[in-house]
Structure 1
């Protein structure tokens, strides 16, 4: 009876009055223990109000129904497809909307709509995948900032591939501890490409020097990246680098000089196709002849074999507690294999550069320690 009078009254009521009444009716529906007949009548009235000419009325309904599991599903679904100011609150909150409903809204919605969905308290892996695949850059940033979002490794890769050129997305991805190592490397490369294409960098250095410096910087950053990579991700990162053509002799020599023996093993597995167990055994205790055969199968030139074996032997001794050494000492011994400071050639220049970098890093650390004392 009350609902009957309500439906007659709304034809003459003002917008503000209709909105307040719609909100009250919606709250009564989801919160009150209404008799069955009154509940059916209230549901009919809410359905009728979906056709109200004012979006403020529908927005008031959306506010009242958006967080309830007891709201009428067909009403919530209709509100979710309404104008942005009406649909937004439902898309952001309603527990009644399924992943299929939300994915449809992601596919057909604006960037603002996608961002609302990405910021829901819980975002499933399937919904995250949809946002990563078709969402704009801003919703992807929102998704990455959402602690309630379950994001698959593939979705991280898709966001890096699609929006890696956008600074805000790069920053959000790099700040996420769940980001796979190969995605981190992809973003490092994107940053390098952006820097070397900067008009300021080109004006200061020229194209050739900028290319060389950025390539060297990316190699150094890639080696540093290994420190933050879980051992179980080594194989995936090595394969990613192989497919990109980044497993160069320069990168491999630098990797072993820095003591990344486990990752060095993953690189050899990727390059040779040998069983991981066999490669690990050779690195742990294989003789020089067997190691040289392994390096040759990996495509490493003969000129690199001696310094790689020298570095490997030192790191074996360090691992076994027979020696204390770091990058500075290892790179010096590698350089001695090539003839010391008088050595010439591209490989010698690389090892010298690694040694000088280690000297500078150690000196910097020493200075900071003195300053802090």
Structure 2
């Protein structure tokens, strides 16, 4: 650990872009190796300060690699994760998809404030809750609704599915994923049947 800290201190004093990238990766590796030591408020505050300082100076490609490396980590500071979740979509995508740090209010905030591409990633995230599903339905953007209809792990209730089917009357892209949805029952299938094409009617009838 002493050698690693010495290396980190040397890299921290460098202004070279490659050294900053190595510094971020060394910090992530060190944190991944000792996650149980990183959950106290004092350590989280210190980590936040260090990572914020580095991330705000980091190039796009470095932030992208950082996001990929910490996307699944449960030790990462919440503030850092939320900043990366609003970054360019290439950086935000793994964070939105996998970060256990993101909670429902964070995901709903992305639905309200972020770009269409970010919202689509929220709709694709595994096991999104009822609250997030309702935020997606409230926003009502066709591309995001399609991503939700394709997400079979989302907590979509009977009423949510009925609302998606109603909207598919005007949004053709919803019809095919809804026809294959695991929550579709005979009652809902009969509603969908009235405005789909011949191929999907055959599938629904069967």
The TM-score bracket by the shorter chain reads 0.7 to 0.9
- Structure-2-length-normalised TM-score: 0.77
Output aligned runs, 1:292-311, within 5 Å: none
Count of residue pairs brought into register by the alignment:
194
More helix per residue = 1
Alignment partners' CA distance in 2, 1:177 and 1:94: 26
Cross-structure match for 1:89 = 94
Cross-structure match for 2:194 = 189
Superposed displacement of residue 4, structure 1: 4.2
Alignment partners' CA distance in 1, 2:152 and 2:62: 33
Cross-structure match for 2:28 = 26
CA contact under 8 A between 1:88 and 1:116: conserved in structure 2? Answer: yes
Tell whether 2:75 aligns with 1:65: no
Q: Secondary structure at the match of 1:191?
A: coil
2:106 to 101, 104, 110: 101
Cross-structure match for 1:156 = 161
1:76 to 66, 70, 81: 81
The alpha-carbon distance between structure 1 residues 39 and 109, as it changes in their structure 2 partners (threshold 3 A), is closer
The alpha-carbon distance between structure 1 residues 114 and 164, as it changes in their structure 2 partners (threshold 3 A), is farther
Alignment partners' CA distance in 2, 1:111 and 1:38: 35
Alignment partners' CA distance in 1, 2:50 and 2:10: 11
The alpha-carbon distance between structure 1 residues 103 and 38, as it changes in their structure 2 partners (threshold 3 A), is closer
CA contact under 8 A between 2:82 and 2:102: conserved in structure 1? Answer: yes
After superposition, what is the alpha-carbon deviation per residue over 1:252-309, rounded to whole angstroms, capped at 9, x for unaligned? xxxxxxxxxxxxxxxxxxxxxxxxxxxxxxxxxxxxxxxxxxxxxxxxxxxxxxxxxx
Alignment partners' CA distance in 2, 1:28 and 1:164: 53
Tell whether 2:53 aligns with 1:48: yes
Could you tell me which runs of 5 or more consecutive residues in structure 1 were left unpaired when the two chains were aligned. Answer: 196-220, 229-373
1:166 to 167, 171, 176: 171
Cross-structure match for 2:11 = 6
Alignment partners' CA distance in 2, 1:139 and 1:188: 22
2:118 to 110, 113, 124: 113
- Structure-1-length-normalised TM-score: 0.45
